[in-house]
Structure 1
Amino acid sequence: MTEERPVRWLDEAEMAAWRSYVVATLRLRQRLHRELTDRHDVSLTDYEVLVCLEMQDAYRMRMSELAVLMGSTKSRLSHQVGRLEGAGLVRRGRDPEDKRGVITELTDEGLALLATAAPTHVEGVREHLIDLLSPQEQATIAAAFERVLEHLSEAES
């Protein structure tokens, strides 16, 4: 039988930090999504898939690696990539090095969409987050979330 640890409830300041983070990130993602869909007819999550592929050598990567990078399940990502493929923004094929794996590759159409949508996304990120913070606050946020990412990566190992 495992011993239960007592719950360390959040105090008022911790709760304020947590709630501000949750609500602000949700609303920020909603705003960035709306700007991309209104101006470019692409969702924020689809845009993020295209960006992940664009950052890779030859604009391609294995679906399993893309799922990890996106924080998605393989089945949810497969459905999403299927929609992107139907729109001509990506294509899938067998991994030449491992026939069991599937590679997703950005198409010329996907690259063109990124070229037109990226300025809208960056303007939104600047307007709704970066320009609201001092350089010191930006560094603090970066350091804090690097630590969170490191912790989560270790916990998954």
Structure 2
Amino acid sequence: MTPRWLNDREDRAWRGFQAMRAELTAHLARQLAQQNGLTEAEYAILATVSEAPGRRLRARELCKLLGWERSRLSHQIARMENRGTVRRAASADDRRGFDVVLTTAGVAAIDAAAPQHVAAVRHCFADLLTPAQLDTLGDIADIITNHLDSEHEAPACGG
């Protein structure tokens, strides 16, 4: 079967997306590390758990929200426990699983990092686009994410 190569329009869009994603991700990761001493993974966990009621979230739900494999989440939580930003707690709903809970240090870390991170996202992304462009990009993200979700099983989340 002959490969169906990308045409010029498709190639420009694909390569542009790849370059934008890589540069934006690297820029925001450097900003988090330099200003707040956090990795992207730490920030993702702190931000997600901070939005949950009681700043406590079932590990399985956190895994699902982040789109991570169970082993990745488990290793990252262990590192963050060592840093004192989160702790594991028995789940009230299921004795087999655990909840991820922000510690006082974790709350302080996300409270300090979030305003700076949002400012960087605005500066490098949201403020550069019109409302219509943001809507279009959101629609594109939904189309691709929904397609990928329908083709692949969800990550093996546990806990």
Q: Which has the higher contact order (CA 8 A, sep 6+)?
A: 2
Change (3 A) 1:16 1:91: same
Q: Distance in 2 between matches of 1:75 and 1:93?
A: 18
* Residue of structure 1 in register with 2:104 after alignment: 108
The TM-score, its normalising length taken from structure 1, stands at 0.89
2: CA distance between counterparts of 1:31 and 1:82?
A: 26
1:30 is matched with 26
What is the CA distance between 1:7 and its match in structure 2? Answer: 4.3
Give the corresponding residue for 1:43: 39
Q: 1:73-125, CA deviations, whole angstroms, 9 ceiling, x for partnerless residues?
A: 11111111111111111110221221111211112211111111111101110
Number of residues of Structure 1 aligned to a counterpart in Structure 2: 153
Q: 1:72 aligns with which of 43, 52, 68?
A: 68
Worse overlay, 146-155 or 20-29: 146-155
- CA deviations on 1:6-33 (whole Å, 9 max, x unpaired) are 6432111111111111111111111111
Aligned residues: CA RMSD: 1.6
- Counterpart pick for 1:92 among 59, 78, 88: 88
Q: Match for residue 131 of structure 1?
A: 127
Matches within 5 A, 1:47-62: 47-62=43-58
Indicate how the Cα distance of structure 1 residues 95 and 152 shifts in structure 2: closer, same or farther if over 3 A, else same: same
Give aligned-pair identity as a percent: 34
What is the alpha-carbon distance in structure 2 between the residues aligned to residue 52 and residue 7 of structure 1?
41
57-66 or 23-32, which deviates more: 57-66
1:83 and 2:79 matched: yes
The CA deviation at 1:142 is: 0.9
SS of equivalent residue, structure 1 residue 100: coil
1:151 CA displacement: 2.2
Q: Unpaired segments of 5 or more residues in structure 1?
A: none
Whole-angstrom distance in 1 between the partners of 2:101 and 2:148:
28
The one-letter code of the counterpart of 1:133 is: L
Q: Which runs of 5+ in 2 are unaligned?
A: 154-159
User: What SS does the corresponding residue of 1:98 show, helix, strand or coil?
Assistant: coil
TM-score where L is the length of structure 2: 0.88
